[in-house]
Structure 1
Amino acid sequence: MFGRDPWGGALEISNADSATDDDRSRNLQDIDRAALSRQLDETQQSWLLAGPGDAGKKKKKYVDLGCVVVSRKIFLWTLGALLGAGLLVGLVMLIIKTIPHHHKPPPPLDDYTQALRKALMFFNAQKSGPIGKHNNVSWRGNSGMKDGLSDDSVRKNLVGGYYDAGDAIKFNFPMAYAMTMLSWSVIEYSAKYEAAGELGHVKDIIKWGTDYFLKTFNSSADTIDRIVAQVGQGDTSKGPGPNDHYCWVRPEDIAYPRPVYECHSCSDLAAEMAAALAAASIVFKDSKTYSEKLVHGAKTLFKFGRNQRGRYSAGGSDAAIFYNSTSYWDEFVWGGAWMYYATGNVSYLTLATTPGIAKHAGAFWGGPDYGVFSWDNKLIGAQVLLSRLRLFLSPGYPYEEILRTFHNQSSLVMCSYLPMYTSFNRTRGGLIQLNHGRPQPLQYVANAAFLASVFSDYLEAADTPGWYCGPNFYSIDVLRNFAKRQIDYILGNNPQKMSYLVGYGKRYPKHVHHRGASIPKNGVRYNCKGGWKWRDSKKPNPNTIVGAMVAGPDRHDGFRDVRTNYNYTEPTLAGNAGLVAALVSLSGVKTGIDKNTIFSAVPPMFPVPPPPPPAWKP
């Protein structure tokens, strides 16, 4: 086969050559497939893909992190940034730790909390027995270490408890009332005590008293025939003789005999001591063994009081001169209420709500002292306490009628406290005259302030905005304002511009009627009459009895800071207990009461319905 040569010559295509070319083409295709099937490395790929100007460029480097491949340059920059940020954070934290910190100071304590802290200190100053090194009253020491043991007619350990006032007598009747009041305030306002940093302190004060009460009778027995009513003697009517009123000596220096007075028919004292132990058992409910011990003692005392009827101060006893009890019926209502709360036994509630007992206690006849709460008359305190039961548990029949009566009477007493009513007079400075102008008014005022404050908190907790006085409705704030106004008077908002709480404010009594505070702790042991020079001295007391609320002004707002006039300058356990209760109720933020703790031993008012019967099967 011939073809035409474009250059002028003949072009011959040979068949043999054609076959050879086909074979060569097939071989090249096989070679290309083999080459393509092999993976090229990075260098080979770069040779194949590189253009004419890529020969001098630097190859990028990568870092294989396992899950991802990233550029080495980006990886190094990221790592450096993280390390730099970590160093910066560390440097900032180091600077923050090394520079001085200026913490925001806590808000200042309100006036009532400050006064509360001081008022509790009075009980430290009144302790009898081995008070130890942590009592925080530098001028006090161990005293009364032979009480009960030095009286051959008794021969029992009566060390402990509290001295009543400016003397060294232990009157169990007002002391028990004081412990009951403190326990009541802790049950209602434990959160406020804790916020003030005083919960442990007040519980120690209560336990010091209840430990002593357990010594005053056979607390391990179920039945007793006597209890101790008093340690020490104060009657001076039989002529001069060494006793706790005739002598003026520090309790630590007492060398004269201290007789013990027991009683065999003393329903009022027994019921009040039972109330003190019962209320304290709720305070210490988390200490099961001690709480049960208190409950057992309370049951024994209340049983004794019910079986052995009589007044502890009858028959011209020494106690009748200073703390005469006018009746024991109010203690039955008061003690019965506390026994019910402590045990849940409805027999105590039945007794406390018996109309006949309430009638004997004066619930239905009024009188000039109706509504005046004190160490002698607990009726209104018991009525407020039982109104609480109606407001929150509403037990219904058969208690509803008498509880409604108590609730209504409590409301009427609250009305009598208000200035728009004339049940009680007031001084020009605004102090309510609950004892009708007689001396030593402040203890009654403090008690009324507490009742008004706690009753208003009961109403608020029950979602009740106020109460009626006849046709007029008053909000609970009116009651609180009454309580604040009276306590403010005690703390210095009065015509004298004087705080009647020692150690509080800029001006307070300096000549308190108190043996321990008026005699210096100078190592000299004064005899019975040797201390008279300190009693009659015109100089201020060498020792400040911080937290003592003195007896108070007269009905004209006048006050004489004179040591020998106890009607102005003597403090008492009962008075300070009421003040502490009122102060804690008004202190701090308005957190209200603890609704449930007091009912911790009370069973459900109504039985739990039984479970439904099983389904019927044919």
Structure 2
Amino acid sequence: MSMYGRDPWGGSLEINAADSATDDDKSRNLNDLDRAALSRTLDETQQSWLLGPAEQKKKKKYVDLGCIIVSRKIFVWTLGSIVAAALLAGLITLIVKTVPRHRHNHAPADNYSLALHKALMFFNAQRSGKLPKHNNVSWRGSSCLSDGKGKQGSFYKDLEGGYYDAGDAIKFHFPASFAMTMLSWSVIEYSAKYEAAGELNHVKEIIKWGADYFLKTFNSSADTINTMVAQVGRGDTSGGSITPNDHYCWMRPEDIDYERLVTECSHCSDLATEMAAALASASIVFKDNRAYSLRLVHGARTLFQFARDQRGRYSERGSEAAIFYNSTSYWDEFVWGGAWLYYATGNDSYLQLATNPGIAKHAGAFWGGPDYGVLSWDNKLAGAQISYVVSYNIIPKCRLRLFLNPGYPYEEILRTFHNQTSIIMCSYLPIFTKFNRTRGGLIELNHGRPQPLQYVVNAAFLATLYSDYLEAADTPGWYCGPNFYSTNVLRDFAKTQIDYILGKNPRKMSFVVGFGNHYPKHVHHRGASIPKNKIRYNCKGGWKWRDTTKPNPNTLVGAMVAGPDRHDGFHDVRTNYNYTEPTIAGNAGLAAALVALSGEKTTGIDKNTIFSAVPPMFPTLPPPPAPWRP
């Protein structure tokens, strides 16, 4: 058989020499082929063909933080939240630092507001009767609970309550009525300022305490009366009398055991009309309590009619009232009380009386005497001829003309009152010489006589109020002769006088107890001078506290003492009442002046409340006729 055969598949079966290589050569050739194949990049599909499916790596479900192991998902969310919060905080900080801020800083309370808080507290210390739990005077307690009780057949059942007048325990109704009228007037004009000072409810409580007591002093449910109570307690020690009474004894009111006499009067036009003014003005303060307000108005009407029917002065010669609170006339009270009853009722008959030129002339409204325009519970003129004029009779009518302009038949007399008020305001200015001033700047409205501050605070109130009246009427000032003065001049006058009282004086001393660091420590006041130590001191037993040189153990907060002398001197001596005794009439004027000056000047007065009961001066216009139709 030939070694050359035919390939059955069509190819040659001849073996070449080159194909007869050794196994080592074949292996070497295969290696070269493998390297050539591997040097070419394979895609994923080719790799999968060659290598088969790759083994998948499992992600860890937990994160090892060293001390603890937490879920990876929780870790990621927590870390993301922290980063987001940090970014948000940074954004907020950036906005706060770059955007301009509007700061609303509340100004600290001014001195007038601070002093107002204290001035009103004095009335809490002067309360008589069963005291409320919130009286807030720790050394005071209920006192004189038997006043007016036990008298058979009397028109009054009890006379518990009211206010002690000063450093004693007598209840003088004439100056007390004036005090309540002043407080009510200040609330009517400046209720917003009382509210801002946080004292509106407090001052209304003070007024109500007084008004409730006044309603006990006469038959307030009747339409007509023929007598009323003028005072409770006695103080006359003339002639060497040693009968225990409110001046001879030096006792805490809570310990009084002697008889307290009640003084009645049947011809007391001045007292009755002053009390009518107090009730009428209080009725405006409490106008939102309709039943109580109407009760006050009814009492005011009854008193005013009594004053006109049974004329006379309550302090006739020989009476105890003539010694301590002598009234020189009742004509001014007719004008004053008539004005307040008109405001409280809107009845024109009271306006007609209040603007009667004859009554105004009797009151001395057109005579410029040495005490002309000096406001007080009463104002005496030097010498035998006595005339009484107080600017509080004129100011309300000036207000009536400024804001209501009632026209005929009142315009002429109201214009006269307005002009007289301008003259009074001029007399307060330093450029005019009607009133002297001390070297320290205190105006001498009582011409150097003792106890000057009660007149000064009233003038400060009137000056501020008149200034606010003018500004509310868009009037920038007023004329004194040919010279024009802005309203700021009046406010500056009021501020200098009140600042003097609060400590800007040559003695650097506040005349309001408890205000500032330097104030009177020996106030003429029985309750403040006797310690509350569970020891009852009898009538003479308290004399040792009256005569001691030690400071009072109890602080009579807010009491404005009588004041310095004409040389700015002051003697802090308990037995010298001309320097150290406070009164509720004086403190009422102080509170009125302080609230008028307190807070922002832009607050101003309330132009509407005082006229709430006054009907429109002019009839309303009729409605227009119906349109004409052919």
Tell me whether the two structures share a fold, i.e. TM-score over 0.5. Answer: yes
Is 1:598 matched up with 2:599? Answer: no
Residue 222 in 1 paired to residue 259 in 2? no
Q: Which position in structure 2 is the counterpart of 1:50? A: none
Please tell me whether the aligned partners of residues 245 and 260 of structure 2 are also in contact (alpha carbons under 8 angstroms): yes
Q: How many residues align?
A: 539
- State the Cα deviation string for residues 354-388 of structure 1 (Å, max 9, x = none): 00000000011221110100001463101011100
Would you say 1:401 and 2:402 are equivalent positions?
no
Are positions 1:537 and 2:548 aligned together? Answer: yes
Letter in 1 for 2:170: I
1:262 partner SS: strand
Please state how far the C-alpha of 1:85 moved relative to its aligned partner.
10
Shift of 1:84: 5.3
Residue matched to 1:300: 302
Please say which of residues 232-241 and 334-343 is displaced more in the overlay.
232-241
Displacement, 1:92? 6.5
For 1:160-175, list aligned pairs within 5 A.
160-175=161-176
Q: CA deviation at 1:88?
A: 3.6
TM-score when normalising by structure 2: 0.82
Instruction: State the Cα deviation string for residues 180-224 of structure 1 (Å, max 9, x = none).
Output: 000000011111111111000000000000000011111111111
Measure the CA separation in 2 of the matches of 1:354 and 1:337. Answer: 11
The DSSP-based 3-state class of the residue aligned with 2:238 is coil
1:437-516 equivalent positions in 2, closer than 5 A? 437-516=448-527
Deviations 1:143-192 (A, max 9, x none): 01000004557462110000000000000000000000000000111111
Gaps of 5+ in 1: 1-52, 57-79, 97-102
Map Cα deviations across residues 24-81 of structure 1 (whole Å, 9 max, x no partner).
Answer: xxxxxxxxxxxxxxxxxxxxxxxxxxxxx99x9xxxxxxxxxxxxxxxxxxxxxxx99
- Are the structure 2 counterparts of residues 409 and 87 from structure 1 closer, same or farther at C-alpha, using a change threshold of 3 Å? same
Offset, 1:610: 2.0
- Separation (CA, whole Å) in 1 of partners of 2:145 and 2:417: 45
- The aligned amino acid for 1:165 is A
2 CA distance for matches of 1:552 and 1:309? 35
The superposition leaves residues 491-515 of structure 1 with CA deviations (integer Å, 9 ceiling, x where unpaired) of 0111111100000011000000000
Provide the residue aligned with 1:383 in structure 2: 394
1:158 counterpart letter in structure 2: L
Aligned to 2:141: 141
Q: Distance in 2 between matches of 1:86 and 1:601?
A: 69
1:360 to 351, 359, 362: 362
Given that 2:376 and 2:390 are in contact with CA atoms closer than 8 Å, whether structure 1 keeps it comes out as no
Shift of 1:227: 1.0
SS of alignment partner, residue 474 of structure 1: strand
Taking a change above 3 Å as real, the CA distance of residues 123 and 90 of structure 1, as seen in their structure-2 partners, is farther
Matching residue of 2:199? 198
Report the secondary structure of 1:203's partner residue.
Answer: helix
- Structure 2 match to 1:548: 559
Structure 1 counterpart of 2:272: 270
Q: Distance in 1 between matches of 2:340 and 2:452?
A: 27
Q: 1:593 to 1:85 in 2, by over 3 A?
A: farther
Partner of 1:313 in structure 2?
315
Equivalents in 2 of 1:516, 1:89: separation in Å? Answer: 66
What residue is the counterpart of 1:64 in the other structure? none
CA pair 92-551 structure 1, distance change in 2 beyond 3 A = same
Change (3 A) 1:398 1:90: farther
C-alpha separation in 2, matches of 1:235 and 1:89: 84
Per the alignment, do residues 123 and 91 of structure 1 end up closer, same or farther by CA in structure 2, a change over 3 Å counting? farther
Aligned match of 1:131:
131
**Aligned mates of 1:190, 1:323 — CA distance in 2:** 30
> Shift of residue 611 of structure 1?
2.3
The amino acid across from 1:316 in the alignment is G
CA shift for structure 1 position 567: 0.2
Quick one: which amino acid aligns to residue 607 of structure 1? P
CA RMSD of aligned residues (A): 2.6
CA distance in 1, matches of 2:85, 2:150: 78
Question: Matched residues in 2 for 1:554 and 1:519: separation?
Answer: 27
Aligned-partner Cα distance in 1 for 2:243–2:469: 51
- Are 2:119 and 2:590, in contact at CA under 8 Å, matched by a contact in 1? yes
How do 1:27-42 residues align onto structure 2 when only pairs under 5 Å count? none
Equivalent residues of 1:150, 1:257 under 8 A apart: no
Match of 2:403 in 1: 392
State the shift of 1:132 in Å: 2.5
The 3 A distance-change label for structure 1 pair 92 and 208 is farther
Structure 2 partner of 1:34? none
SS at match of 2:440: coil
In structure 1, what is the equivalent of residue 26 of structure 2?
A: none
Greater C-alpha radius of gyration: 2
* Matched residue, 2:335: 333
How far has the Cα of 1:616 moved from its partner? 5.5
Cα distance in 2 between the residues matched to 1:259 and 1:151: 11
Residue in structure 2 matched with residue 74 of structure 1 by the alignment:
none
Which residue of structure 2 lines up, in the alignment, with residue 116 of structure 1? 116
- How far, CA to CA, are the matches of 1:105 and 1:472 in structure 2? 40
Q: Distance in 1 between matches of 2:497 and 2:193?
A: 20
Partner of 2:624: 612
Q: Which moved more, 1:374-383 or 1:269-278?
A: 374-383
- In the TM superposition, residue 307 of structure 1 has moved relative to its aligned partner by 1.0
* Partner Cα separation in structure 2 for residue 263 and residue 205 of structure 1: 26
SS at match of 1:440: coil
Distance in 2 separating the partners of 1:504 and 1:483? 19
Contact 2:313 2:329 in 1 (8 A): yes
Deviations 1:98-141 (Å, cap 9, x if unpaired)?
A: xxxxx998532101000000000000000001112211100000
Identity within the alignment, %:
75
Secondary structure, aligned partner of 1:229: strand
Q: Could you tell me whether the CA contact under 8 Å between 2:313 and 2:330 is conserved in 1?
A: yes
* Corresponding position of 2:344: 342
For residues 464 and 261 of structure 1, what CA distance do their matches in structure 2 show? Answer: 48
Give 1:488 deviation, angstroms: 0.5
2:376 counterpart SS class: coil
SS of match in other structure, 1:539:
coil
Distance in 2 separating the partners of 1:85 and 1:346: 79
CA contact (8 A) 1:333 1:379 kept: no
- CA gap of 1:105–1:534, structure 2 versus 1, over 3 A, is farther
- Post-superposition Cα deviations, 1:294-323, rounded to whole Å, max 9, x if no partner, equal 111111111111111111111321111100
Which stretch of the first structure deviates more once superposed, 557-566 or 143-152?
A: 143-152
State the match for 1:279 in structure 2. Answer: 281
* Paired residue type of 1:205: I
Alignment partners' CA distance in 1, 2:157 and 2:86? 72
Partner amino acid, structure 1, of 2:624? P
List alignment gaps of at least 5 residues for structure 2: 1-43, 48-76, 94-102, 380-388
Query: Would the aligned equivalents of 1:439 and 1:567 in 2 still touch at CA under 8 Å?
Result: yes
Which deviates more, 470-479 or 148-157? 148-157
Q: Do the aligned residues in 2 keep the contact of 1:151 with 1:260 (CA within 8 Å)? A: no
Partner of 1:187: helix, strand, or coil? helix
Q: Is the 8 A contact 1:552 1:568 kept in 2?
A: yes
Letter paired with 1:121: M
With normalisation by structure 1, the TM-score equals 0.84
Asked whether the equivalents of residues 334 and 379 of structure 1 are also in contact (C-alpha less than 8 Å), the reply is no
Native 8 Å contact 1:151 1:258 kept in 2? no
Q: Judge conservation of contact 1:226–1:264 (CA < 8 Å) in 2.
A: yes
2-structure distance, mates of 1:296, 1:86? 77
Q: Structure 1 CA distance, aligned partners of 2:287 and 2:82?
A: 56
The 3 A distance-change label for structure 1 pair 292 and 485 is same
Find the aligned partners of 2:186 and 2:304 in 1 and give their Cα distance. 22
